Amino acid sequence: MIKVVPLHHHFHSLHKLHLYIYHHILLPWLVPSEIQLHSFQKGKMAMASTTLSSPPLTIILFLLLLGVFAEARDPFACDPKDATTPNLPFCKVSMPISIRVKDLLGRLTLQEKVRLLVNNAAAVPRLGIKGYEWWSEALHGVSNVGPGTKFGRAFPAATSFPQVITTAASFNATLWEAIGRVVSDEARAMYNGGMAGLTYWSPNVNIFRDPRWGRGQETPGEDPVLAGTYAASYVKGLQGNNGDRLKVAACCKHFTAYDLDNWNGVDRFHFNAKVSKQDIEDTFDVPFKMCVKDGNVASVMCSYNQVNGVPTCADPNLLKKTVRGQWKLNGYIVSDCDSVGVFYNTQHYTSTPEQAAADAIKAGLDLDCGPFLAQHSEDAVKRGLLNDADVNTALSNTLAVQMRLGMFDGEPSAQTFGNLGPKDVCTPAHQELALEAARQGIVLLKNHGPSLPLSHLRHRTVAVIGPNSNATVTMIGNYAGVACRYTSPLQGIGNYAKTIHQLGCADVACADDKLFSGAIDAARKADATVLVMGLDQSIEAESRDRTGLLLPGRQQDLVSKVAMASRGSTILVLMSGGPIDVSFAKNDPRIGAILWAGYPGQAGGAAIADVLYGTTNPEGKLPMTWYPQEYVSNLPMTDMAMRSRPLKNYPGRTYRFYKGPLVYPFGHGLSYTNFVHTIASAPKVVTVPLDGRHHSGNTTVSGKAIKVNHAKCNKLTIGLQVDVKNTGSKDGTHTMLVFSTTPAGHWAPQKQLVAFAKVRVPAGAQQRIGINIHVCKFLSVVDGSGVRRIPIGVHNLHIGNVKHSVSLQAATLGVIKS
């Protein structure tokens, strides 16, 4: 390490020196005030050119300093400087990974093996293998939540994208994959600098089943197809397209039926989710199946809860039979942190810790986040509850992933991503993508008049009010890292107009009205008023489920009083992960517009301002239903049933099964222009071919349906050509959602999202977009026994107000045999 004495004298630490130069010298040059925007047209991303001035000498010196202080990572294993290990078979890059793994396992003792079964895997010095921390997080940017990743010195920050629920509102799979590529670039750079791992336990693809769930913000929403498409796209971005080799290893979590943290005295460590086979197959497991089969994810994490009386991390039907057997996971299965200890110590599922260790490993668990397996697996073997082959099976899966990551290939700098470093983190392009993601995820819920966009000429002074009006850390939600920089809503609006700032409430809890008068006075003086209200992690978070859906404390009272006093337009901006009952604002004519920004990431304030002033035409759609408060008044979070039970006053869950009153529906989102759909071409009849061993005609509850595993599904798709015309006066990007209704009867969803696409359409122009709908995946339904079937008959496809009917017919008639 080279010591830079003159500079060091002026700062208490090199860490503070780096932070000072990074924020005060580097970033002002790297992030100019006007950078041309990304555009996502017809599902393809095009990065516009960015012009930067030549870097000043201070920048060059800083980059040199980064290179000095970012120590290169030593090889994890198979160090070419080692005299013996590089010649061992497990170090031979030219050999198949399965052979290398087998060779390494043959050299390990049982004591060494069990210490590799946990997240802080121990070193094996005699074989030249260093210790490794498996737990890192990258939910929406490289995070320091897990112990495997740290910030400091050369890596003071990483790009912080919008929280997942916000990004999901873009309905843009191309964007999701692009974010994954950026995050993995920065993760690899930090790994090369010795500050991060290569195994990231993200994304969270659980279904946002109940609107009160504190972790719903981490998910892609309530629809299984949306969540599964997000999972596969983000994972592809993270893991790269290098065949079996991995850029980083992603992980889809938490398997399965996990969507309760701490509600009404019931917590996730004690909860037994009672779930029907039907709901497991057509809702809870769908995102995980798509993540494994379509995304080829390298890991799946099992959850804390039990499912039908069995801890998920000890259930061979879930892990060994389903994830690895049916879905063919090419990777490892990891427990949520201390899950094995939880099902022994808290759920009392086994009588001894050794039996718990044995049950987990035999069920298919490969890695324990926590110390339990390292502490008890050896004794489980000695007592005959496990054998060496069981331990080898688990380790073969984790070691294979490490080898696919290149961790046994010697010098990291000589590998595919070995050139990535500090220069590749928080780049202008990465930060611009974070801004673009926020713009695409913001949803315009209401626009009366219209009140938006604001005018540069008429709205020169804006009152910016609310507990989230100058938010920074709140915008990045949970499981976040250290952001490159922030643009708060106040700062963003300040780039367009003169601002008058008042909090109105000291925080989102808004316990009293002490600050109301200042806010009301500001609204009287301004040409327009923007209230930035909502939630933060004190209201909804991991281990913190909400008790209701209304704005906290006296927020609603503040909004109404400010709207009544406002001299000009009143705009309500909401930050939250979960839905909020804002019926009062929806129905108040003095509140001209409502925006939902979710948790919009480090550039959230700039994106909000761009939408408010029309620089960006909003294109987001809600990825979850917004219910009225009455929906949850007598609805226990513990009831996992998706389908309604009218005779028992059970309303059902999500847009797929709930038919009651709404604040805003799933998929709702307005634009500053108008789009009209016309179906240019689509089939009216599609024949479903059988696999030759079966015949059609099986009668179900509501008619004829073919088991999916009896059909030839591979290339069975319905192709649509849709013309989208922009009949308004503003250019815009249209987010097109395609829903289906089936002839399957009451046990099927009332409608189901089957496809979505994005298309950029200039004002007055028309664009044609193609949609392909996989029949077996998306037009099938699940019967009461958990069997997926394709209903024969007329399926209706809905695109906005346009409906197209297509008849699915079986190839021949007869009787299907089970």
CB-CB contact of 529 with 559 (8 Å): no
DSSP codes, 775-808: HHHHS-EE-TTS-EEEE-EEEEEEETTEEEEEEE
Query: Which of 327, 320, 358, 318 is closest to 340 using CA atoms?
Result: 358
Residue type, 771: I
| Closest to 492 measured CA to CA, from 607, 619, 330 | 607
Residues contacting residue 333 through CB under 8 Å, at least 6 positions apart: 299, 300, 301, 302, 319, 323, 324, 364, 365, 366, 367, 397
Report the SS3 class of residue 443. strand
Burial class of residue 84, CB neighbours in 10 A (0-12, 13-18, 19+): exposed
Spatial CB neighbours of 121, under 8 Å, sequence gap ≥ 6: 115, 131, 132, 133, 134
CA angle (208 as vertex; 301, 772 as ends), nearest 5: 90
User: Which residue is catalytic, options 210, 285, 315, 336?
Assistant: 336
Q: Which two tokens stand for residue 663?
A: 């604040």
Q: What CA–CA distances, in Å, run from 722 to 111, 169, 514, 726, 794?
A: 62, 22, 54, 13, 20
Among residues 543, 288, 248, 555, which one has the least CA distance to residue 417? 248
**CB burial string 373-404: b at 16+ within 10 A, e below:** bbbbbbbbbeeebbeeebbbebbbbbbbbbbb
> Rounded CA gap, 66 and 681, in Å?
57
CA-to-CA distance for 145 and 480, rounded, in angstroms? 7
For residue 407, what is the DSSP state? T
Among residues 623, 631, 738, the alpha carbon closest in space to that of 208 is found at 623
Handedness of CA 666, 271, 323, 696 (dihedral sign): negative
Any catalytic annotation for residue 259? no
Convert 182-201 to b/e letters by CB count within 10 Å (16 or more is b). bbbbbbbbbbbbbbbbbbbb
Burial class for 817, CB neighbours closer than 10 Å (0-12, 13-18, 19+): exposed
Catalytic (active-site) positions: 336
